A and B are shown apart, each in its own frame.
Chain A
Amino acid sequence: MLDYMHHILRSFEQSTNWNCDNSYANITATSQALLNFNIPTAFEFQVSGATTPYTFNTLRVSTQKILNGSLTYLYTDAENLDKIVQSSTSIYLQDAAQTYKYLQPFYNHKFDDIKPTTPKSLYYGKIYFPNSNLEAMIVKRLNRYTQLTLKCLSSFKDYNILTCYWQRDTGRNSQEAIFSTNDFLCGYRCLHNFLGVPSKTNMSLYNNSSLSIGGELWLGLITLSPGCSTTLRYCTHSPNTGRPLTLTFTWNPLFGHLSSTYSAKSSSNTTFGVKYDFNLYSIESNLSFGCEFWKRSRNETNNSPSNLPANSESESVSKGESLMYHHLTAPNASHFNNLATIKTNDKQREQILSDLAATFSTSLRKMDEEKYTIQQFTKLINNSDFTSVWKFSFSLKDKNLKALWEGKFKGFLLSAGTELRKTDMASSIQDPLSQNQKLSIYPVKFGLQLQYAT
């Protein structure tokens, strides 16, 4: 479950038109959400609210051995944030939970309608008690393409860390430079999205797939510990059902580690993800598996079929905006009108257009069908009112099983989960009595989280 402050940050990025998903750090976010989801480790309660349209705060209390908590304040000068931020009663569960994310490279080839905005910034501070650690974050949207993030942590126990992120995202390319005072870690990562241009090999006009490649380089200057990896990602929709699927392939040349993931939404309320790891040097391998089961509210399941057709027509235009392939979709009517007004006398051009439409009608129709199915599926998911979700994941090598239940209950966002692990063989050899008598499976962590936001 995402924190309220996390939600605000996402809203801030949305309002300033920043796509945080278009970053190498999130290149495997889809499979991560299915396999390595967070499990609360204590009983935790959060109350959050927007005091003004520009300030937000959260009070968190948790009991882990002792009672502790934190107090968070956030200020931002972004506009329209109050319209984007939703309270816990109105938010959709699929937005609040970490779930399958169809990471579509989202860059606009639309005619430039984004006004040059003044730099927007966000200030965030969090103090923990009783140990008085302080977290602070400043996010500054410098201009249309760049964003600067400063995160710092201050504590009494020698921890005084500042981490800077400088990000530049042009849509097609995303670059990021990172510096952290902890270990003097320097990092650089970049992501490149290949355009889904119809090529000779790809004859379909409506190309909904996207290919991205990225890489990262790290170097801890004090310990001289290097790190690097490169990842290839391919996202597409199945043409018949319109269901999204994502494939990633990661290679770490330093340690010879290969990792491949496959995640797919098999239906509107189930998701599956598989990850296979293999190390070239040590020939170690690991297979992880994760799945999600969503549950709709009862009243929604009844009326959703009737609602869907109506919705699809009305929202077809609005949904189109978030797609990446605007250059392939037919130009806007208004835009056409503009063109038409410029060249009103040019009757011939209009004639050619209509001729073209007639000749490519079959392929266009096919394209529309594909598009329609995809859009319908995303709409189905986006609009459905889920009440709860079960998440499971297990890993063969680690011998663990994670289970998480997240749900909405009367305006509260609930999240409860546990991680079970099998005892190691070595310890059972050590004392053979326990091997027979005690259970070989024990919980590593378990917890419950309650969130309420107004």
Chain B
Amino acid sequence: MSFRFNAEVFKDNSFNENIKEKLTKALNSSTSSSSSPVVTRSETCGEAPYAGCSDAVPLGAATVTEQRTPQSRGSTTTTTTTTTISPKTRSTMSSKKLDILKSEIIVSKVNFPTMPELEILDLDISAQPRSLVKGICKISCRDAMLQIQTEIESNLLLVYSDYSPDFTTPTMICKDSFTIPITMVFSEIRLEAITNLFVKNSGIGISFNDVNLDFKFDCSIKILQSTIEKRLKKSMQMLFKEVLPSVIFNMSQTLFTAEETNRNVIEGSDKGDEERDCTKTVPLLKVMLEESDLELSPANMLRLSTLISSRQTLSLNATVLNVPSTIPGCLERQNLRRFNSRIPSLSNYYANFCEKKEKPADMKRSTSSLVSNYAFHEADQNILPAKVLEGNAYDLKTITSIQNRVFERSTDENVRPRRRKIKIAKSKKSSNHESLKDKDNTNREPSNASGEGETTEVDSPLSIQSEDPILTAPRPLKLIKPFSLMTAPCRSEFESRAYSPATLNSVSTLKLPVNLNPMYFSQTDKPSLNFEPQIVVSRANSPRKLNLLEETNYFNYRPELHKLRSTIYSPLGKNNAVLLSGKELSEQRQLFEKRRLSFVGLNYKGINWGSDDEPPPYII
């Protein structure tokens, strides 16, 4: 999920002025003015708020704050007018502090040619009382430019003698100030940061984990350039670790408390004209809040949370690496395609070959209302497309490595790899496969237990088959009734062929990840194939029923499924029913027999996070 900033906002000229004014104000505010940080408008875009206040570091005072500026979202247009700043702050800053700045810092140019991006990598919204939102965001900004002007005192001895006690300072004759104007240009600013965000009732906590800030620095005084740059780099760490989070938190606190008062006002008044009250109180907050900030209310958060929780449906193995999921075993639907494409399989590797070929097949399959995800055809089985063979485009070594990896994903170490046996009717192809077999006799190929001989008869790309944990999208099709289990895994074409060709189409559309359902294999192995026609019929007759309950059942049995994961996801061990021990089978059977309806949602376990000692099932 990523946000795009409103281009209109960026082109607005008043916005430019606003940004620049706030920047200069922030740069010139005296030390530790965290009580009244400057709220840039960037937060209104749903972004982490940035505010500035100058630091106590003598030389770094200017530089540290300049660091901050790239993050405040500027304008796409370049503005060259300089803003004037009141010198009153200077007169109040008469404390004994070494300060070589002789004038205010003026932000003379701001340019953001490309719009900054905010990508939300992960968002957890829970109804927990303490925190509302936890999320991981990626902030990126490119090609920004910033020009800062100020004047510095070059006679450091004068600075020294001005801020030292008179008694011990020797009198100097050369006490003449000599101010030099200095211009610093930060160009090609590129910021990429991964931030952790916590929204709580008290405020927003943010931490910068992976900050990548890069810029070209150009100083009008060349002698100072290297030292300033060095200091900038040094202070950057502190800025992102301490300054920014604290500033943001302090500022958000004011926002949140302000909202609370607003809420109180609303509650106190009549319920009926709540909306009118809202508009009434908004002007009060106008100073620090833009209107869109008000959308960050707990009620909205709750609404969002229900939305999010409805998305998190599909359980997957948490042990699978590189899967963008935060809740172990859960995969967000929109990530499914990505997930499937990463799974090692031949069809993935030769994806561009099979693309065209699969299209018509997909059309055929789409008779089922259930199979709606177009990702299905892509996330197919471990199939080497015919085109590859025809075009001689395959590379045996890559195939070997893919198959090896497929095998290694299996968690059953005791299983002896089975050599695949392929009989091919056509001599041309068989010769190919003979050679393949000969060369790769070490190739451990999990093969379909019952479908060995038949595959050869299929004049199709299914020359190499392996059952891999490829998921097709909306299909935790499991099963209201025990026998409905059978419906799902009618994957291999030899099965459909074994029965009436009439059912073939409807069944083939239901191709499920075979390995998702262990029952399938147990059933097929024990010669209970006579169930299949019934199942197919029932399945075809009652798709709606399944559709309704698929998720409930899925969640209902999730804990057990969790346990089973190891067996489920080992393509070889589980696909080969022969290898399944009887004990395991019985367990699984039992498991699926005891099913009932249950509540849909995040808290499917019946445990409220936060109320328990158990940590919430996500990792931040």
Q: Which residues of A contact B (CB under 8 A)?
A: 24-25, 27-28, 135, 151-153, 159, 161-163, 165, 178, 180, 182-183, 185, 187, 216, 218, 220, 223, 225-229, 231, 250, 252, 254-257, 259, 277, 279, 281-282, 424, 426-427, 429-431
Contact = CB atoms under 8 A, between A and B. Distances in A.
Given A25-B173, A227-B157, A426-B85, A282 B178 contact: yes
17 contacts: A153-B165, A159-B165, A162-B168, A163-B168, A163-B170, A180-B170, A223-B160, A229-B172, A231-B173, A250-B173, A255-B174, A255-B178, A257-B176, A282-B180, A424-B87, A426-B85, A430-B84
B173 A426 contact: no
A135 B178 contact: no
B155 interface: yes
B171 A25 contact: yes
B493 to A, nearest CB: 82
Interface string B156-197: 110110001101111111101011100000000000000000
Contact of A282 (B160, B171, B174, B179): B179
Given A151-B168, A182-B160, A187-B170, 16 more contacts: A25-B170, A135-B167, A152-B168, A162-B168, A180-B168, A182-B164, A216-B174, A220-B156, A220-B157, A223-B156, A225-B160, A227-B172, A229-B173, A255-B155, A256-B178, A429-B84
B88 interface: yes
A28 B173 contact: yes
Contacts of A254: 155, 174
A427 B496 CA distance: 88
Task: Classify the interface of chain A: helix, strand, loop or mixed.
Answer: strand
Given A182-B169, A424-B87, A429-B84, A161 B164 contact: yes
Nearest to B170: A178
B172 A182 contact: no
Contacts of B88: 427
A281 B442 CA distance: 83
A226 to B, nearest CB: 7
A252 B174 contact: yes
Contacts of A282: 178-180
Contacts of B86: 426-427, 430-431
A238 B154 CA distance: 41
Contacts of A279: 176, 178
A281 B178 CA distance: 9
Contact of B169 (A180, A226, A228, A259): A180
B157 A426 contact: no
A359 B540 CA distance: 148
A350 B168 CA distance: 58
Nearest to A430: B86
A259 to B, nearest CB: 7
Contacts of A231: 173
Contacts of B169: 163, 180, 182
Nearest to A423: B87
Nearest to B173: A229
Contacts of B172: 187, 216, 218, 227, 229
Nearest to A222: B160
A183 B156 CA distance: 11
A151 B171 CA distance: 13
Contacts of B174: 216, 218, 227-229, 250, 252, 254-255, 257
Contacts of A163: 168-170
Contacts of A227: 155, 157, 172, 174
Interface string B78-92: 000000111110000
A183 B164 CA distance: 10
Contacts of B173: 24-25, 27-28, 216, 229, 231, 250
A153 B167 contact: yes
Contacts of A178: 170
10 closest Cβ contacts across the A-B interface? A225-B156, A229-B174, A227-B157, A255-B178, A257-B176, A161-B168, A163-B168, A430-B86, A252-B174, A25-B171
A255 B154 contact: yes
Contacts of A424: 87
Contacts, number: 98
Contact of A218 (B157, B164, B176, B178): B157
Contacts of B168: 151-153, 161-163, 180, 182
Contacts of A255: 154-155, 174, 176, 178
Most A CB contacts (10 A, CB to CB) among B154, B155, B168 go to: B168
Interface in B129-175: 154-157, 159-160, 164-165, 167-174
Contacts of A185: 160, 170
Most B CB contacts (10 A, CB to CB) among A135, A255, A282 go to: A255
Nearest to A162: B168
Most B CB contacts (10 A, CB to CB) among A135, A185, A256, A282 go to: A185
Contacts of A429: 84
B176 A225 contact: no
B335 to A, nearest CB: 54
A163 B161 CA distance: 13
A180 B157 CA distance: 13
A180 B166 CA distance: 12
B157 A225 contact: yes
Contacts of A218: 157, 172, 174
Given A27-B173, A227-B155, A279-B178, A426 B87 contact: yes
Interface string B227-256: 000000000000000000000000000000
Interface string B8-32: 0000000000000000000000000
Contacts of A25: 170-171, 173
Nearest to A231: B173
A226 B157 contact: yes
A213 B166 CA distance: 26
Given A180-B169, A426-B86, A429-B84, A259 B176 contact: yes
Contacts of B179: 282
Interface string B372-391: 00000000000000000000
Most A CB contacts (10 A, CB to CB) among B154, B159, B160, B179 go to: B160
B176 A252 contact: yes
B160 A426 contact: no
Contacts of B170: 25, 163, 165, 178, 180, 185, 187
A267 to B, nearest CB: 29
B178 A257 contact: yes
Nearest to A181: B168
Nearest to A248: B173
Nearest to A281: B178
A151 B167 contact: yes
B164 A426 contact: no
Nearest to A165: B170
Contacts of A226: 157
Contacts of A250: 173-174
Nearest to A215: B173
Contacts of A152: 168
A279 B180 CA distance: 12
Most A CB contacts (10 A, CB to CB) among B169, B172, B173, B179 go to: B173
Interface string B199-231: 000000000000000000000000000000000
B365 to A, nearest CB: 73
A165 B169 CA distance: 11
Interface in B574-611: none
Contacts of B157: 218, 220, 225-227
Given A183-B160, A226-B157, A277 B85 contact: no
A162 B157 CA distance: 17
B104 to A, nearest CB: 8
Interface string B497-517: 000000000000000000000
A431 B87 CA distance: 12
A161 B168 CA distance: 7
Nearest to B179: A282
Contacts of A277: 176
A255 B88 CA distance: 29
Most A CB contacts (10 A, CB to CB) among B164, B172, B180 go to: B172
